[in-house]
Amino acid sequence: MSLQSPLGRVIGRGSAKQGVSHFWVQRVTAVALVPLTLWFALRVTGLPDYEQETVRAWIATGWHPVWLILLIGTLAWHSALGVQVVLEDYVHEKGIKLAALVTSNFLHVLAVVAGAYAVLRVAFTFTAG
Amino acid sequence: MRQRPLSPHLDIYRFAYTMATSIAHRITGVILTAGFGVLIYWLVAAASSAESYAAAQTILGSTPVKLLLVGWLLAFCYHLFNGLRHLNWDLGRGLERHEARRSARIVIIATVVLFVLFAARAFASGVLS
């Protein structure tokens, strides 16, 4: 057993370089979302109609599945971090805050998995007809 | 808990529109998170049966949801430009009061312009009509 205090043990060792991770990821995803969201908004508003066949064909076109999955993952990450800050700022009761944060993260992960699966399913099964 | 002195917060400050742009960034962020859920729902429906997609079309094509989509588009335009404003601040630029006020005005104008362009494009393609 060490008699050294926890503080004494870490002093002078520098930072673990993880303190700004939340801040940094929020910004990096923000930058990535500029082209991804603009691409998506331009393409979706440019579709001739929104029949299932048209939408599936669009999802399966070329590298669209890659951009769509990147968009879904980056959006979810950025959104989860943002919602976390909002919950931490406005939900004051400890238990409710914890439950809200865990629920938010579960829903975001669910959204990514469901969205990516949907895109891949269309990409691998779509045949024009 | 013992009553402790509070540092001055929200209610003692004179209202300035840079405050409004700040809180609007959070509000539009939360709105966009809800919109992200709609996006996932749409993709999952597109990857599912014709019946599921027809059901999604009925919901997404209903007038109240269309209005929400227009609101979502507006929230996106705002969050995009104000987000760029935040990224510029993160680089340590534009933090002077007069600069922050000017960039707030630029964000509002750019938001309206991009929103009108996208809305016109969406109307032309039939997503909103």
Which residues lie closer than 8 Å to B104 by C-beta, 6 or more apart? B17, B18, B21, B85
Q: What are the structural domains, with CATH classification, of chain B? A: 17-125 (1.20.1300.10)
Give the global pTM: 0.88
* Any B CB within 8 A of A121 CB: yes
pLDDT tens digit sequence for A8-17: 888 888 777 7
Measuring CA to CA, which residue among B82, B52, B32 is closest to residue A111?
Answer: B32
- The residue of chain A with its CA nearest to that of B89 is A27
pLDDT 10s digit of each residue in chain B, 129 long? 678 887 777 677 777 778 889 999 999 999 999 999 999 999 999 999 999 999 999 999 999 999 999 999 999 999 999 999 999 999 999 999 899 999 999 999 999 999 999 999 888 876 665
Question: Do B57 and A50 lie within an 8 Å CB cutoff?
Answer: yes
How close is the nearest chain B Cα to the Cα of A123, in Å?
9
ipTM: 0.88
Which residues lie closer than 8 Å to A82 by C-beta, 6 or more apart? A26, B26, B29, B30, B33
Average of pLDDT values for A23-39?
96
Question: Do A48 and B126 lie within an 8 Å CB cutoff?
Answer: yes
Please determine, looking at this structure, whether the domain spanning A17-125 carries the CATH number 2.60.120.860.
no
Size of interface A-B (CB pairs under 8 A): 89
Tell me the C-alpha distance between B8 and B72, whole Å.
34
